[in-house]
Amino acid sequence: MKTVLVLGANGQLGKCFEELAAKHEDIDWLFMNSAEVDVSSGYDVQQCFNSKRIDYCINCAAYTNVEKAESEREKAFLINAEAAKNLAEICKKSNTVLFHFSTDYVFNGAAQMPYLESDQTGPLNVYGESKLKGEECIKENANCYFIIRTSWLYSQFGHNFFKTILSKAQKGEDLNITTLQQGAPTNANHLAKFVLKLIQDRSTKFGTYHFSNKGETTWYGFAEEILKISGNLGRINLTHDNSYKTLAERPNYSVLNTLKVENTFDYEIASWQDAANELYRDHFLVKEGKFSS
């Protein structure tokens, strides 16, 4: 039986793996949250690896607050880069396959077509810089790894755009959403299922991959789809915001090309619309026609 360690188990992606684990008891799952294992502590991580043989390590631990990273640069790099380096070294020593998640924000958004894995990076903010540094640390210090860049993650867990829009719609609040960023919303459950497939297949096609749901939209377009599938389109006042201001600069275009995943693993990725509909149907739709969170 394979042993799979999931670090950062309290985050939304970690929670998706935990829900998936309940259906796959042929794997020995080990879930560790930040209170149990501080990924920035090499000692903590090593102690975890010393407790049992780890075949696969899924690193869901990350500093993800894009705005706060601008003023907490050291903390962002500690968790997203230094911790990744320590984990890569330990995985190499333990002959453990490492799964690490990165972001579309490693790109500068100047492209006009979806980014390939081989395209030049150029992050615009501290968060993107720290995640790119984490990628570099893993490439330099690990042998058996999958770096998976993803974008605009949402799920039934934690705080995310999908749940925020549903909540505001239920309260009847007006929505003013930016159209300035183009990307691909990604159902975190789909990402978790893809990683599980690689584990089940014992894949050794290591490297950097892009995984997001197919197609592209703006945050406004995503909000419009969420209102549509929840039956709130037309009931809520939804307007464009063309002057969206943030502390951290964000790429205007950060769509990821997923053909490498699809061709390498013969894997079919759902459209972002189908993925959003699936999440609402499976986790938020109830008999009263409302949603549960």
Catalytic entry in 105, 115, 127, 220 = 127
Phi and psi at 109, nearest 5°, equal 80, 10
Rounded to 10 deg, the angle between the 83-94 and 126-141 helix axes is 20
Nearest to 107 by CA among 183, 1, 52: 183
Query: Is 220 part of the annotated catalytic residue set?
Result: no
Amino acid at 220: Y
Alpha-carbon distance 231 to 236, whole Å?
10
CB 199 within 8 A of CB 146: no
Q: How many CB atoms lie within 10 A of CB 176?
A: 12
Round to whole Å and give the CA distance between 27 and 18.
12
CA–CA gap between residue 97 and residue 126 (Å, rounded): 28
Pairing of strands 186-187, 153-154: parallel
- As a whole number of angstroms, the distance between CA 56 and CA 59 comes to 10
The size of the chain, in residues, is 293
* d(C-alpha 248, C-alpha 271), whole Å: 28
What does the DSSP 8-state code read for residue 266? Answer: T
- Apex CA 111: angle with CA 70 and CA 260, to 5°? 100
Q: Note whether 224 and 286 are within 8 A (CB).
A: no
The catalytic residues are 127
